[in-house]
Structures are given as C-alpha cells and as structure tokens.
Structure 1
Amino acid sequence: MKIFYPRPDILDRIPKDDHTVIEASAGTGKTYTIEHLFIELLLSKQASIDSILVLTFTERAASELRSRVRSMIERVIATPPSPQSPGGNCWEIDPQGKVHLERALFSFDMAPIHTIHSFFQRVVNEHAFSSGRLFEQSLVDSRSVFQDAFLDTLRSEFSCKPRFIPYLQAWLASGKTIEDLQNELYQCHAKKRPILPEFVEQALMQAFLTLHAALQAGGLAEQFTTEAKDNGLGKSVSALVKRIDQFAVMLAGIQQSSCMADILLGFDPEGIEFTLSRVSSAATWSAPVMTYIDALRQLKKHYVSLKAAVVGLFLREVQKRLEQKKRAEGLYDYDDMISHLLDAVTGPQQGALITALRARFRYALIDESQDTDQRQWEIFERIFVKSRPPAQNILYLVGDPKQAIYGFRGADVQTYLAARKALCSQRQPVPLASNYRSTAGLINAFNELFRQDIDAPFFQGEIRYETPLQCGNPQFQALDRQGQDISPVVIWEIGANSDDEVSAEYYKNALGSAIAAEIPKLLNGGLVGLKASDIFILTRSESEGRRVAHYLRKAGLPYAFYKLDGLFETPQAQHILDLLLAIDRPFDESRRLRAWLTPFFDVPLDRLLHCKGLPESDLLVKRLLDWHALALRRNFAALFSSIINESGIVRRTIFFEESERELTDYLHIIELLMEEASAGGRELSDINQLLADYIAKTRTPARDDGSVQRLETDKDAIQIMTMHKSKGLEASVVFLYGGYSKRIGGDSYHLYHDDSGKPVLHIDGTSETKVRAEAESDDEDRRLLYVATTRAKARLYLPYVHPKKYKNPGMYRLLNGRLAAILADPDTMKQKGFIKEVPPYAGDNAGTKDKADKDVVKQWRPSSDLLEEIDESEQFAMLRDQHAGFDVTSYSHMKMMMGGYAAPGGDEERIFDDRSAESGKLTVSTDSPAGPRFGKVLHALMEQVAFRGIVHADGGSAEWMMQASVRSLAMKALAREGLSEQHASFLLSLVYNALTSKIQLADGTILDRLTNVEQMAREVEFLYPYPEDSLPGIAVADWPEVRIGRGFVKGFIDMVFTYGGKLHLLDWKSDILPDYSAQSLKDHFAQHYDLQSKLYLIALCRILKVHTEDAYNERIGSVVYCFVRGMKPDGDANAGVAVSRPSWDDLLAFEQRLISGAMFVGRQS
C-alpha cells in the first residue's frame, strides 16, 4: 500500500531540472507553494533535506517557513496508507519514500532554512580560509562603527592634511557642523550606490576658468540682450542678463591657483540650468555669446556642489579606515554579511568555495526575491546559475515584483527584473493566479482597480498587473447581520459638498473622525464575526498613525500600534536615561530632580521644590542610593529588576495611562540595556552613554529590529500600522488613511537607475535627474499602495478627493486618479463591487472648516468658575493625618523644621572666601572644596581609614598621605561623589589633622590623639520610637507591650569610642566658619547642633540600657564635635573641637520637650 497525499496542480508547471521564476500576487499562497515544492523535491529527486536551501528576508518569515515545512512532512507521514488512489492529483509515496521522509524529519534540524543575511554569514564563518576572514567575529551597529572610523579619519586626515583642510573649512563656513558632515557621509555610505556626479577637480577648475574667460568678452551683456530679443526671448532677457552679471561677480579674480573649495562655497549653480533651459541650440548666436553658452554647457557637465565634492573626497577615506578597523578587530555589520560572501565568491579562492557550495546545495528557493539587490543576485548567480552541467544546481526565484517596496533599504527591483529576464529566456515565469485570502467580490474589485488593459492603468513601466486573479476560496463570504453580502470596496468622498480645495489638515481630521464613527457599526453587526483585531488602519507615516489613534481614543475604541519604529525617540527612553544618570550620580541635585519627575518616582512638579536638599534617610534619596550601590557592584540584573518591581512604574502605568504602550516601551528598553550590560566590563556610565547615543541617533542597536516598538497588548484591539509594516499581513477590514499630502524632504539626494540600469545616488542633481528620481519614487509608491489595498480580506475603505480639489498631492494621488476613473463609470462600479459614500464629518466646508475651527478656539473664553482655584488643602491635610503611616524622622529633618543651620548651598565645587580673624581664628584656604558632597567624602574616609596607619607613619603627615592604600581611599571617595582628584591632598590633610589633634574631654582628661582610643565603633546606626506620652522614657527600664503612634527617630553616630572607662560619642563636621575659637565653636554648637547631640545621647542611652542618673554618670562620657577645618595637631587642646556633656536632668527635660513639641513652637513648619 501507498500513501496518497493531495498535490497542488501548480507543481506540474514548475520544472525540477531548470531554473524557474515563480511570480505570486497578494494572497496567492506563495508560502503554501514553497512548502509543497520542498516536499516535491524531497520525493521526486530523493534529495536530502540538507541539500534544499530555502532563504527569505526576515527571521519571522524564516521561522514560519521552518514550522510549516516541518508540519507538512509530519502530515504526509501521518497519512494512513491506502490500497488505491482516491483520485485527483496526488503524491504516491511507497514505503521507501516514507522512510526517506522520516529520515528528513529526524534530521530536520539540519534543514538550511535561513534568512539571507544569516546564511551568508554562516558561509563566511564556515569557510573562513576561502573568505579571508577571522574565525571569531562580532556583530556591531553599522552607524557606531562608522562614527569611530569617521572620527579617526577626521583627526588624522581631514583636519591636518592640505588636501582636505580647505574643504573642511568651506564645509564649516557654509554653516554646517562636524556632526552634519558625519551624517551626510553615513547616509551616502548606507545607500550602497555609486555616487554621482564624479568630482574631477582639474576638469571643474578648467570649466570655471573657461566661463570666466567668456565673461571677459567686452559688451557680452549688451550683445546677449540684442540677440536674445531677436531670438524671441523677450520675457526672459532681463533675467538671463542678470545671471551673466551674477556669474561675473562669483568668478571675479579666479585663476588656476584659486582654491576650489572657496569657489564652490560662493558659487550658485542655479543660473546654469536657468540659462541653458531657455537658449535654443537652433537659434542664431554670435561667436562671443556662443562661447558663453558652450562654457555653461561644459560647466554643467563637470559641476559638483560643495556637498558632492566633500562627499566625493571624504567618503572614500572613511570607508578605507572603516574596512581596516573591521578587519583588524573582527567586526561586521548586517551589510557586511553580503559583501563578505561576495568578496569570497569573486576573489582568488572562489573556485574551492563555489565548488563546496554547489556540492552541498542542489536546490535553492529564494523567497521574496523581488527584494534582492545586485550583490545578492551576483552571489546566487555564481553559485547556481553558472554551474556546469546546467541541471546540477537549480535556482527558484519566488516573489511578487508588485510588492517591491523596500528601495529605501537597498532592495533593487531592477535587479529582480534583470534576473527574471536571464532565467526566463526560454520559458515564461510561472504565475500564481488564485487568491485564497479575499472574497470573490473583493478579488473582482482588485482586478478592476489594477487592470492593465486600459489607457491609464495604475501600474506603469516594466512591473505590471499582467494576470487577473481568480478566487481560490469561493466559499469565503462576508455577510452583514441580515445575511447579505457586503459591498467589498467603499469609496469615501471627502469634501463632496464643497467647491473648496481639501487641505491636508481637513482631510486627516475628517477621515479620522469618519473611521472612528464607522468601526462601531462594523463591530455591531455590520460584518458578522468581526473583532477589533480584524481591522487594520494603514498609514504612510507613523505620525499619521498617532493622528488617527487620537480619534479612536476619543471614541473609546481599543487600538494598538504594530511594530512602531522609534523606540528611542519616545519619552520613555528619556525617562530611563534621566533615572540612570541620577543613579550614577545620586548626589547631583539636578540629576536627582530630573529623575524624580519621571514616572519612576512621579513627584508632582509643584512638589519638586520641596525635594531639594533631602537627607539620605528620605525614601526618595534612599532608593537612589540603593540602586547606586547595585550599579557600583555591576549587578545590573538586580538593578533593573529593582527599578521595575520597586519603583511602582508598573502599577502607575497600568492604572493611569490610556494604553499599555508606555509600560511596554519601558520594559523593552530595559531589556535591551540589560543585554548590553550582560556583555561584561561595562559601568553604568557606559550604559548611560549608549542609551544617550541611541536617543541622539548616533548609534543604533545591533539587532535589526532593535528600535522597533513591540505590540503593547495581546488584547482585542484595532491595529494601526504603516503600509510598509503591513506587508505579509491580512485583515478582514482595511482603512487607508495616509499619503494624502506630499512628504516634506530635501531634494539633495536623487536615487534612480542610469541608462545602463545601474542604481546611482546623485547629490544635488539637475532637473533631469530629479525627474528620473521622482518617476522611480512614484513607481515604488504605486507598489506600496498595491500592498496596502490587498491586505483586505472582506472590505476595503478608500478615501477619495475630486482631482480639482486635491491640494498639495502626495503619493495617494496615484490611487486617487484611478478611483476618479472608476467613479466616472457607474455600471463598472456596480458590477465590480464599488460603492460611493460621503462619510460623516467629511462632506461640507472642506476648505473653510479649518479656519472656522481656529476662529472658534480664538473666540472661546473660559467661564469664571473654571478660573477659580479651589483650595482643598485643609481637607487633604485632615485625610493625610488620619491615614498617615509611621513617620521615620531624623536630625536633618527636625533641623529643617526648626529653621536650623544649613551648610552653604549651591555648586558643590564652589570655593568659599573665608575671612581672616584675630588670634584664635583660622583662615581657610581659598582652594578648599565645600558643600554636602565634600562632607560625604570626608565622612566616608573617616569611616574607612585605618588608625594604625597613622600611628606607624614615622614620617608624619607627608609619609602617611603618600601611602598607596591611603591615597586610593581618598581617590575613590572623591570619584564616587564626582569631585576632582585634585582635592585628595587637602582631604587627607584634614583627616590627618583631626586624628592627631589633642582633645580635652568633659571631665578634663586629655586625649593626645584619637588614634590612641581604647576601642571604637564607626557609623553606629540607631532607630528608636519617637518620644510620646504613651511610651516609656529613657528613665524607664521595663517596656510593656506598646503601640507606636508617632513613628521613629533614625540616624547614624559617626563614632563611639571608649577612653578612661567611659563611652564618648563623636561627630565629624566640615562646616566652613570664619572663626574656630573656643567661644565661637561653643556658640555655633549650641545654636545648630545641640538638638543633634541630645538625640544621639538618647540613642546611646537606649543602646546601652542606661536608665538612671548613676548609670549615666558612670558609663557616658563626652559629646565631641570635631570641626575638622579648625583642628591643629600642634595647637592647644580642643582647637576646632566643641566638647559638651548634658546632665541627666537636662536630657530628661529635652525628652519632655520632644514629647510636647514645645521645641518647634515659633519655628518654621
């Protein structure tokens, strides 16, 4: 018995022993044909699965092909054997054939189904010797590696070599920047086309000199005036003579040694074309005038603009440097995947490589072959087409030239047409003529819309709609709720009842409103079984997509953007950058404030001022510092996870944003940054620079789709996408929205094919090159409109504007003109399934509505009640107090409430000019740094420095400060706070002076130096309940079970040490004071630090369980405040030191004042 499996009839028309072109149309089952042809080759020629090469352009398409081919083999194998054929066209598979298929399935992982780029790179890597490449190579972003090569060449060539300097100076003198130069060179490099016009400096100089000589002829202007009038140029004479004068001014003083760059900078070529377009070669001219005209023709032949000259000179040098860099470092980009293999199959080792590839791959199926370029085709041609004997290697090109829409990416449909001509010299392409996507009615409408047998068909040129399609699925119907067939194509006339021109603004507004009004009707029974996700809205640009989304949002309709470009142009990218910059430098006030405005903290703008100078214990600052610590450890996985999970960004975006677009972008960007961070060896500053480059577009992710936004939701939603992104997709209902107005863009680049068919890039071309470029652009726009319209399965909505009302026509005019012809024939409309409607909001006052809308806005005035500010602060304060949680306060916060001392603010790098004073007063160096950041550096160093190192430093401060370990501590501490390393010596001198100065304790005992203390603990953290009536005080030893009401007091004691049998607490201060005398410090301490010292004492008593006056006197010694800028090792005891010791009664009284709040009365609140 045999397996009988249905075989498509189209396979009978596809030869198995000759090269073939299979031409599809939209919806004709191209992928279906490929998967069945794959099985046909496996069965008919007993080919092994690894000898059939299948290539396509995208990872998604390659993955789909792999899945479908594998499933196809599984289905065939699973078909039960039968004793006889069921009839019809079938594969007859005997047991041996089944075994062959089973082997293919078991070894399916070896099936070479790839993207073109990945296959080319695979070949280069596997044949490294033949291709002359390194075994290990790294994929890089083409823009960033080009930038590196450009900057290298700029430093070593352009800025210092006489050949380039004049052109670089002229470029800058024209108002352009170095960044502009880099961008222009990269754009030309990325086009991968020969650049015209060729810059031949000597020939151009001779042309300028010839014109200059012609202008020197005496009386040229007068003679030209007379002859021009005689030749019938009366209306243009004055303008033509004006050009003669302009040429004379621009070329005044020119000579052979003149600088070409300066000439081009000051020359305007407009007059060349203006003159030559008006003077007739058949007219009679005298010798001087003819010499002038011939000189202009010669100049036109050789002229290049300054931009073209700079590109012509500079780009070659950058490309040389780029190739050297890539070869030396083993780098490649996506484009190199093609060029490397082309070099290999055309280089000296080509024979061995081509032989190996021909032996391995017997067949090749190239999907989407209309998107190949000349280099790709040359590779396929050398491997498969030129093989001998001819039938040894077979090439199948599968594509649809009507869908060739990626010219802007380098695809060249002319290459496909040339390949088709070469392969089809003996036979015609095999067409796929049955559409399985759309209803019969819609297919009928397509055939009418794109028919070729009329005077003005939609497609013009070599690419044509040659084969009208048949319906491959007659059972597919589109019905309304009454069970009636719906009209397949709806033509919406915009501005139907007005004689005014239809502006782009009115068109987009009216069409957007009409779409938003029509969709609910369709979803509510206008088309049975329709879901929101079955609806596409196709635009020409992404900005148009955002525009139509506005109307859907107003109507309450769910929508999603499909593969939206510009991930790093979103506000979300800037929010993440602001956050990461603040994490990198958490004590930079400017960065902190910007981060707190982002949705990761969501601090309201009107509260931002209150967030200046927050203490480290504040939750906002603490979170930044926690993330900073993770970044310092390079634990980026934990950092990004914490940002997502602990910032509240997920909850806020889900609850407060209108869609999941923002959250999807945040997660996508963080994922890409995580990938970069996982490469290893990166600091947070490197990640920040990378993200900043992405945002500035000076670098792009190495992944081909790295800047494409992901679909934000899998919920049922209307899909908004560009026409380009819709290729390969389908939807029941399609609305065309974009392309009405002409796109705004420069005309400096003209892309077209020259007379030999070669694609070229013409910089600052002529009117002739502009016409050629626009013609090719129109052809691609026609193909784009074909792709957009044929996405529809059941209904298509096409806007229409009467040609007389069409203002500033864009690419949609190409389809609009065909609709005008169809609308002129009512019988054809009825037969082919077209209906015409005037949609809501789009019928009247097309030209005047915009002005009327603007007038309404200008005349509107808000009512008085809208202008009244409602003060709800009291109600809010009451609710806040009722529902407040624990308050964790600190000395810094309490000091701010009391209006206490604040260190000098402003720039942390500011140098303070301190005053000199009398005896006992110290002049602080004007080179000393100040500010909270320097204070943090000092505290960090005091926490880490080893006291023993000072004890053993026999050479004094100089020897100690030069120790590598000591200096390293200082450098790192300064770097963490972003302070200059030049402050290291000053910082270490403060530390040394503080630790070696004498201190007289409260009981009169002299401590020679702090390095002599018996025991010490640094940075002693404490947390205790804020004193209140319901809680035991420090004088109570036993604590029953209590309820905390007011919160906690939290902080750190810089140092606790033992000396003379008692514990003393110490705090470092870096205050800059005009006077460090004993009385001055005593007053300063009493005014600004008495509160802090007593909070610390209460903490120490609670830690030590001191509850009585006797225990306090026995165990607690002094409170030592060291003002390090005033401490002097060779001075008197307590120079720069304030020592105090409150009595037990004073401490209890202070506690009561905290409970009552009396200490805050009359202070700032």
Structure 2
Amino acid sequence: MTDRTLPSALNVLNFPLTGSRLIEASAGTGKTFTIAALYVRLVLGHGGDNAFSRPLTPPDILVVTFTDAATKELRDRIRERLSKAAACFQEDPHEPSSGDEFLLKLRAEYTPEQWPGCARKLQLAAEWMDESAVSTIHGWCNRMLGEHAFDSDSLFTQTLETDQSELLMDVVRDYWRSFYFALPEPDIRTLRGWWRTPEALHQSVMPLLDYADELGSDEPPAQVCETVSQQKADELAALKQGWAQWTQELRTILEGAVAAKVVDGRKIQARYFTPWLEKLHTWATTDEVMPDLKTGWERLTPEGLAECWKQGEPPAHPALTAMETLKARLESLPDARSGLLKHACRWIENRFDAEQQKRAQMGFNDLLTRLDAALRSDNGERLAEIIRTQFPVAMIDEFQDTDPLQYRIFDTVYRVAKNVPEQGLILIGDPKQAIYAFRGADIYTYLRARRDTGGRHYTLATNFRSTRAMVAAVNEVFQLAESRASGEGAFLFRRGDDNQVPFLSVEAKGRADTLVIDDAEAAAMTLWYPEDQAEALPKLQYVQLMSDGCATEIVRLLRLGQHGTAGFGHPGELLKPVMPGDIAVLVNTGREAAAIRMALSKRGVRSVYLSDKESIFQSAQAGELQFWLAACAAPEN
C-alpha cells in the first residue's frame, strides 16, 4: 500500500470544509456525531483557512442519506447538536460548562465577546431545521425537478407513484403480443425455452431497464432470430465438417486396438465406443445440435485414450484433438436470447416512459434518471450552477450505498475531481460495506469516488461502540489478511503496491461495562471447530453439531446469569445478568436458523427469527389475524 492511499486521521475541528473530500468511517466510529459537528462549524463559519467562505444556514447545507428513517434521525441529531452548541455559547465564561469536549474546544476558539453572536446563529439554525435540506436522494431529486421545472424541462405537476409494477407488466404484455405472436413456430419453441410467459420475460428484463440506452437494440425479434439462426447454422456446419468420415476412421482404430489387446478392457470396449461413434455420426449428418455422449466427451480425447492405452503410443487423430473443445464450442454457439433481451429492454423502457408521460406520473427511479438527464442536457450546466448556488455545501451520508447514477448526479453538480474551493462536497461512508452488492452497493462507484478525491481522504480512527478487546480482536484478524505478502489484502483489492480498499485498524474508546464470566472478562472472539475431525463433515451433520454447540453455550451463559456469575459490568462487582435478549446468533440461511431454533427449543429457550427475506404476511400470526378480520367482516358466516 502506498502512502498516498493512507487516509489522514480526521480532526473534526480543523477538517477543511471546502472542495471535495472523502471520509471513511467504520461502524461505531462516530459518523453521525461528525456530520453534526461539521454542520455546527458550517453554521458558525468556523475554521480559519479550513472554513467555508461564509457562514451558512440550514437551507444552504444539503445532507443526503438513504432512508426516510435515517433522514429523520439525522435531522433530529443535528438539531440537538445545534441547540447544545447554542447553550454552551450562552454559558457564563466564569462558570463550569456542561458542554462536551468538542463544544468546549470549539468555544475556546472564540473570545467571550463573540459568544452571544455565535449562540444566536446556532439557536436560529436549530429553530430553522424544519426547513433544512436533510433528505433522501430521491426526495432531493424530486425537490430539484419541482423547484427547477423550467431548467430541468419537467412538468410542474406530476404524480409520484410508489408502485408501478402493474403498468410495467402491461407494457411487457404489449411487447409480447406485438413481437412474439408473429414469430415462426421453431423460433417460438426456442423462445419458450427461455420465457414461457410474459411474467418470465419481465423478470429477465427488469434488471436491464436502467441500462436500456447502453444495452438496447432496435433490431426486432424476427430479424434477430433470423440472423442468429443463420450464424448458428454456419458455425455448426463448420464444426461438423469431417466428422462423418472421422467416426468411421475412429471405429476402425478402436476396434483394432481392442482386438490387439493394447487397451485396458475395463475402460474401453466396443459396447462403450460404438454408441458414442454412432451418436457422433448421427449428429454430423443431421440437424442435431448437441450429441449425448456422456463419458465419451472425455474418453474420445488424446488424454482420455492415453489413460486406457497399455502398449505403445495412443493414436493421434484430428477427431480426438477436436473432441477436446467440441463440447464447449457447441455450448457457445450463438443464440438469440441476448439479442431479444436487448430489443425488449429498449422497447419496454421507451414505451414505459411514454405511458408515464401520458399519465403525468413517475416512479422513484425516474426521479434519479430525469434529474440526471436534465443535468446532461444542453441546459445542464446552467441547472448544475443553480443547484450549486442553492446548496454550496453537500454532505452525502452512507456513501458506500451510492450507485453509478447517483454518483454521476453529484459529480455533475459538484465536479468532484476538480476539487473546486468555492463549494464543498463531503462523502461519508464505510468502504468495507461497499462490497455488499445485495444492499445495492457498488464497489466500483466507491473506487471511482476514491480516485476523484485522491489525496483528500480522511478516516475516523476511534470506535465508540465496542469494547477494547473486541476492537483489538477484529484488528488482529483483518490485519493478518491485510499484511500477508502473498495475498490480495483483507478485501481482495490489493494489486502490487496499490490497495484501493485497505484495511485500517482503529482505536477503541471502550465501553463502560464488559461481559464478565466467572469473575473475568470474557474473550472477545472465540473460534469453534470439531475436535479430532480429520475429514470434512457432511453439511447436515456439521449444521447439527454447530447448532447443538451454540444452543448449549447459550444455555450455559443464561444459567450463569441467573446465578450472578455472568453479566455486564466489571470483575468483582455486582453484574447485570445476561438475558436472552442480549444474545444474537447470525446465520447464513433460513435452514441454519431453523436448526438453531430447534436446538434452543429442546433446551427450553425461546427465540425469535428475524429475516429481511421473509414477509410478515406469510407468518402464522398473519394467518390467524386474517381469520379474525374475516370473522369481523362477515360475522354471520
């Protein structure tokens, strides 16, 4: 890892509030505290050379996060911070202060004569937070399209539809009727091998709609099928060339070898190779695409014959060499699926947009795509300048969840790589979470932002959530992977001396209490493994073994808690007993969760399974509630 990739430890009091900067904040390192503190500084105009050019008010500062709940919490935390800062500046300089370390250091940089003016600014900002620009990215895009309808070429009045699935499904059905009904019967049979219904086509097209402009094609399905069919026929004919004769030659060679007893009869006999060669001959002389050779694919190769040849050199023949790649080449013959999807995604996207315009409605994703399109239009530079003037400073929370489209919007407005001092863009997130694509994250968007902010990276270096022992254990595990010379770093992004996603150890402030067992601090991290097990266990046996071990340990901790020897506090002191609600078990699958719950149930411990993949409407409680509601709706039934 080169020096230029190492972020600087962030000092919240002298962090530069101009240009574009990236703050890497691991879990529990005070990200929300930092955002609120920087907000206070922006309101005050604090920082000397590192200050923004002028004090700002809440409507001037854009703060973006990714959920409505996070937006409300962040707004409340900022409001609370502003109020506490105002109260700190209102205190008598000769009396003890109730402010925390940050506020006291901040206040110390102003003379007592300046305190009333600072308090006034902060109090007004706290009261102004209801009009602050703290929102989700979708909410902000909606606001920009509405407030700047002329410059974004948007309608003044549009309906935001939260569920557009039925309209999109209608468009897919229109496409199916318009283009697939008229296809020849052979093409329809091929088509139904991929999508038997419009609903199946919808599932395949959905992920592509965001990229319709790049992936889409105007070549209609009938032409796609005809073109691909001809290409496939030409390539297949080239692959079959010579095989009708080769099968006869191979039969003669192999029959002679068997008769001369130069081969291992257990591995190759006439009853083995005769069906293979007959299938190959039928394939070579008919329209068949893929012969069913089973083990013949491996045996009828130079390596396969060498395994069963006992005397002399195995034969060399072009058919044997061709067999090494024949199956793979047949499997990679062109088909029309990708061409059909390209046409479908562009046509469906265009028709869907037209239907939305007819209805003067848009969906959540349209908020992003329309603002992006407006920023890339002929009037885009003017619109970007208007937004920059309206929000000279922006802070993007949970930046690791930003996708390419969202980053392009911010980059167009704030020109990240140019690091313009007249504006401020602060990206805050945890790069380690950017590897989780299932959350919608895009690691390559993060890497691009990291390149664009090169030399302006900062990190929050202290964990405030976990015990010192836990932080030290995590540091140890990840640092081993990071420092291994032959590896690619803890997150597999090291290439030579450059590592775009390095692991950075953090310090720990610690907690007021720790888990204590038998009058000693519990180990922060423990590895369980089966003892005296030389070979890998079958999966079901492994899951059962680990479930029983986990449940037994939970019961042990709960019993110790009941006796006052396991709990939270400090060794030698009265402990807060361990309770079932203090324990969480993380699993990979629902099957593992069921095994754990069954093991706990056998030991008399109740548990709750929480999963973001399960619908509450599929639960037993929902079924019971449905019966009650039905009874209330029709009591005579």
TM-score range, shorter-chain basis? 0.7 to 0.9
Give the equivalent residue in structure 2 for 1:149.
Answer: 171
Instruction: Pick the aligned partner of 2:410 from 380, 390, 411.
Output: 380
- Match among 124, 129, 132 for residue 103 of structure 1: 124
- Aligned to 2:192, the other structure's residue is in SS state helix
Change (3 A) 1:73 1:445: same
Match among 394, 397, 404 for residue 364 of structure 1: 394
Matches within 5 A, 1:665-680: none
Q: Distance in 2 between matches of 1:71 and 1:20?
A: 25
Counterpart Cα distance in 1 of 2:442 and 2:402: 6
Q: Distance in 2 between matches of 1:19 and 1:270?
A: 61
- Within 5 Å, which residues of 2 pair with 1:1049-1060? none
Instruction: Tell me: CA distance 1:104–1:169, structure 2 relative to 1, closer, same or farther (3 Å).
Output: same
Partner SS, residue 491 of structure 1? coil
Q: Distance in 2 between matches of 1:308 and 1:247?
A: 29
8 Å Cα contact 1:385-1:393 kept in structure 2 = no
Give the equivalent residue in structure 1 for 2:230. 205
Residue 171 of structure 1 pairs with residue 191 of structure 2: yes
Q: CA deviation at 1:482?
A: 5.1
Counterpart for residue 5 of structure 2: none
Specify the alignment match of 1:90 in structure 2.
106
Name the amino acid aligned to 1:527: G
Q: Which has the higher helix share?
A: 2
Structure 1 position 321 matched with structure 2 position 351: yes
How far 1:386 sits from its partner (Å)? 5.8
Deviation at 1:158, TM superposition (A): 2.5
1:1079-1090 matches, within 5 Å, as none
2:453 corresponds in structure 1 to: 423
* Residue 62 (structure 1) aligned with residue 62 (structure 2): no
Q: 1:325 to 1:541 in 2, by over 3 A?
A: farther
Kept in 1: contact 2:138–2:367 (CA 8 A): yes
2:259 — aligned with what? none
Q: Which residue of 2 aligns with 1:519?
A: 554
2:416, 2:153 → 1: CA distance? 23
* Deviation at residue 73 of structure 1 after TM alignment: 0.3
Higher relative contact order (CA 8 A, sep 6+): 2
Aligned pairs for 1:152-301 (under 5 A) are 152-159=174-181, 161-162=182-183, 167-172=187-192, 176-186=196-206, 188-189=208-209, 202=227, 205-206=230-231, 208-217=233-242, 219-221=245-247
* 1:542-588 residue CA offsets vs partner (Å, 9 max, x unmatched): 45334433333443434334464323333555667xx6xxxxxxxxx
Q: Read off the aligned partner of 1:526 and give its amino acid letter.
A: A
Displacement after TM superposition at 1:128 (Å)? 3.1
* CA contact 2:394–2:426 (8 Å) conserved in 1: yes
Cα 1:442–1:155 shift into 2, 3 Å? same
Two-structure CA RMSD over aligned residues (Å): 4.4
Query: Take 1:248 and 1:348, find their aligned partners in 2: how far apart are those partners?
Result: 63
* Structure 2 CA distance for aligned equivalents of residues 30 and 333 of structure 1: 31
What amino acid is the match of 2:389? A
Call closer, same or farther: CA 1:483–1:492 in 2, change over 3 Å: same
Identity %: 24
Matched, 1:401 2:417: no
Cα distance in 1, alignment partners of residues 598 and 63 from structure 2? 43
Report the alpha carbon displacement of residue 310 of structure 1 after superposing the two structures with TM: 4.1
Q: Take 1:536 and 1:158, find their aligned partners in 2: how far apart are those partners?
A: 52
- Once residues 236 and 475 of structure 2 are traced to their aligned partners in structure 1, the CA distance between those partners, rounded to angstroms, is 57
Q: Deviations over 1:126-149 (max 9, x none)?
A: 333443443222313243332121
Alpha-carbon contact 2:169-2:202 (below 8 Å) kept: yes
Contact persistence 1:29–1:436 (CA under 8 A): yes
CA deviations 1:890-934 (Å, max 9, x no partner) are xxxxxxxxxxxxxxxxxxxxxxxxxxxxxxxxxxxxxxxxxxxxx
Q: Does 1:472 align with 2:494?
A: no
Structure 2 gaps of 5+ residues are: 1-8, 47-51, 255-263, 304-315, 495-499, 569-575
Could you tell me how far apart the structure 2 residues matched to 1:33 and 1:270 are?
A: 65
Deviations 1:1127-1158 (A, max 9, x none): xxxxxxxxxxxxxxxxxxxxxxxxxxxxxxxx
The CA deviation at 1:42 is: 1.9
Contact 1:133 1:327 in 2 (8 A): no
Structure 1 segment 543-942 matched on structure 2, within 5 A? 543-562=591-610, 564=612, 565-571=614-620, 598=627, 625=634
CA distance in 2, matches of 1:76, 1:510: 55
Secondary structure of the 2:19 match is coil
| Partner deviation per Cα, 1:1004-1043 (whole Å, 9 max, x = no partner) | xxxxxxxxxxxxxxxxxxxxxxxxxxxxxxxxxxxxxxxx
Task: Give the alignment partner of residue 116 of structure 1, picking from 121, 137, 140.
Answer: 137
Task: Answer whether contact 2:251 2:277 (CA < 8 A) is retained.
Answer: no
CA contact (8 A) 2:20 2:456 kept: no
Q: Which has the larger radius of gyration?
A: 1
Alignment partners' CA distance in 2, 1:77 and 1:227: 95
Shift of 1:506: 2.5
Contact between 2:159 and 2:360, CA under 8 Å: does it hold in 1? Answer: yes
Distance 2:189 2:434 in 1: 42
- Structure 1 residue 434 and structure 2 residue 454: aligned? no
Aligned to 1:929: none
Counterpart Cα distance in 2 of 1:551 and 1:147: 44
| 8 Å CA contact 1:211, 1:295 repeated in 2 | no
Contact 2:251–2:274 (8 Å) recurs in 1? yes
Aligned length: 553
Normalising to structure 1: TM-score of the pair?
0.42
Q: TM-score, normalising length from structure 2?
A: 0.74
Shift in Å, 1:96: 2.4
Q: C-alpha separation between the residues in 2 aligned to 1:108 and 1:270? A: 72
Aligned counterparts of 1:318 and 1:270: Cα–Cα separation in 2: 41
1:327 aligned counterpart, secondary structure:
helix
CA contact (8 A) 1:211 1:292 kept: no
| Structure 2 residue identity aligned to 1:101 | L
For 2:491, the aligned partner's letter is F
Does the Cα contact within 8 Å between 2:25 and 2:460 map onto a contact in 1?
yes
Q: Tell me the SS of whatever aligns to 1:390.
A: coil
**Contact 1:204–1:299 (Cα < 8 Å) also in 2:** no
Among candidates 59, 75, 78, match of residue 84 of structure 2: 75
Answer yes or no: is the 8 Å Cα contact 2:400–2:434 preserved in 1: yes
Q: Distance in 1 between matches of 2:458 and 2:252?
A: 65
Mean alpha-carbon deviation: is it higher for 523-532 or for 73-82? 523-532
In the aligned structure 2, how far is the partner of 1:553 from the partner of 1:194? 53
Cα separation, partners in 2 of 1:149 and 1:480, compared to 1, 3 Å:
same
Contact 2:62–2:134 (CA under 8 A) maintained in structure 1: yes
Q: AA paired with 1:81?
A: E
* 1:449 correspondence with 2:477: yes
Paired AA for residue 204 in structure 2: E
Contact 1:224/1:241 (8 A) holds in 2:
no
3-state DSSP class of the match of 1:20?
strand
- Deviation string, structure 1 residues 1053-1084 (Cα, Å, up to 9, x no partner): xxxxxxxxxxxxxxxxxxxxxxxxxxxxxxxx
1:504 aligns with 2:504: no
Q: Which amino acid in structure 2 is aligned with residue 122 of structure 1?
A: R
Q: Distance in 1 between matches of 2:232 and 2:10?
A: 65
**Residue 572 to residue 154, structure 1, CA distance change in 2 (3 Å):** farther
Structure 2 SS opposite 1:31: helix
In the other structure, the counterpart of 2:162 is 140
SS at match of 2:37: helix
Letter in 2 for 1:445: A
Q: Deviations over 1:19-63 (max 9, x none)?
A: 111112222112221111111222223112111111111222222
Q: Which runs of 5+ in 1 are unaligned?
A: 1-7, 229-233, 255-262, 580-597, 602-619, 629-1165
1:453 Cα deviation from its structure 2 partner: 1.0
Letter in 1 for 2:41: E
Once residues 537 and 48 of structure 1 are traced to their aligned partners in structure 2, the CA distance between those partners, rounded to angstroms, is 45
Q: Does 1:540 align with 2:588?
A: yes
**Distance across 2 between alignment mates of 1:187 and 1:543:** 28
Question: CA 1:224–1:250 in 2, change beyond 3 Å: closer, same or farther?
Answer: closer
Say whether the 8 Å CA contact 2:64–2:135 is kept in structure 1: yes
> Which position in structure 2 is the counterpart of 1:1157?
none
